[in-house]
Amino acid sequence: MKFFVDTADTAEIAELAETGLLDGVTTNPSLIHKSGRDFMEVTKEICGLVDGPVSAEVVALDHAGMMREAEILRKIADNVCIKVPLTIDGLKTCKKLTGDGSMVNVTLCFSANQALLAAKAGATFVSPFVGRHDDNGFDGMELIEDIRLIYDNYDFSTEILVASIRHPVHVLESARIGADVATMPPAVIRNLFKHVLTEKGIEAFLADWEKTGQSI
């Protein structure tokens, strides 16, 4: 499974990239706003921090407007992935952009039928939002299972990019189902490293080492 970080904080991205575990980055207008920086400037900087896809989202709602914005965004760097909403105009834009060789992330997916449409439109990634799905009384992981089954049935190349991940269990369940990518806030990635027994083991080893009076 690929790990993407869901943030526009370049300091966080740079630190996580040093682990060698980061395969890409997703951003959205809310994350750009939170960064307090210029959209084009921060997107370009992020593209220089990772080799993998960096999702940059259009804000226009009509096909012509999306295409105009996409033309600007895909000139930022070769690893920009244009992010479009799962609407008719979004899928029109997806079909056109992927036909021209651009990567496209179709976002705000909340049903398996929507994911099927995204795959038929040639999406590079589809982003089902499991956390928001759970918040509204649905089962986010059941959605991922349905999409995985449908994509495997028809050998679609679109990658399932699980988004709106809230905790490490979402990551584990996504991996068990066979999702291609998990995009997470930095805090969730860091929580994947943590286990109380690991921490206790380190404490015990260090205590015993100190008793030896040795140094390395």
Q: In this predicted structure, what is the pLDDT of residue 200?
A: 95
CATH class of the region 2-212 = alpha beta
Q: Which sequence spans correspond to the domains of the chain?
A: 2-212
Q: In this predicted structure, what is the pLDDT of residue 199?
A: 95
Quote the tokens at residue 18. Answer: 């040093």
Q: In this predicted structure, what is the pLDDT of residue 49?
A: 97
Work out the burial of residue 52: count CB atoms within 10 Å of its CB; fewer than 13 is exposed, 13-18 middle, 19 or more buried: middle
Q: In this predicted structure, what is the pLDDT of residue 80?
A: 98
Q: In this predicted structure, what is the pLDDT of residue 13?
A: 97
Is the whole-model pTM more than 0.75?
Answer: yes
Check 75, 83, 194, 200 and give the catalytic one: 83
> Cβ contacts of residue 164 below 8 Å, gap of 6+?
129, 130, 131, 132, 133, 140
Q: In this predicted structure, what is the pLDDT of residue 1?
A: 97
Digitized pLDDT (tens) for each residue of the chain, 216 residues in all? 999 999 999 999 999 999 999 999 999 999 999 999 999 999 999 999 999 999 999 999 999 999 999 999 999 999 999 999 999 999 999 999 999 999 999 999 999 999 999 999 999 999 999 999 899 999 999 999 999 999 999 999 999 999 999 999 999 999 999 999 999 999 999 999 999 999 999 999 999 999 999 999
Q: In this predicted structure, what is the pLDDT of residue 53?
A: 98
* Rounded Cα distance, 143 and 130, in Å: 8
Q: CB atoms < 10 A from the CB of 24, how many? A: 23
Q: In this predicted structure, what is the pLDDT of residue 122?
A: 98
Decide if 83 is catalytic.
yes
**To which residue do tokens 């449409």 refer?**
117
Q: H/E/C letters for each residue in 26-57?
A: ECCHHHHHHHCCCHHHHHHHHHHHCCCCEEEE
* Rounded Cα distance, 36 and 32, in Å: 7
Q: In this predicted structure, what is the pLDDT of residue 116?
A: 98
Q: In this predicted structure, what is the pLDDT of residue 52?
A: 98
Q: In this predicted structure, what is the pLDDT of residue 139?
A: 94
Q: In this predicted structure, what is the pLDDT of residue 69?
A: 98
The three-state secondary structure class of 25 is strand
Q: In this predicted structure, what is the pLDDT of residue 176?
A: 98
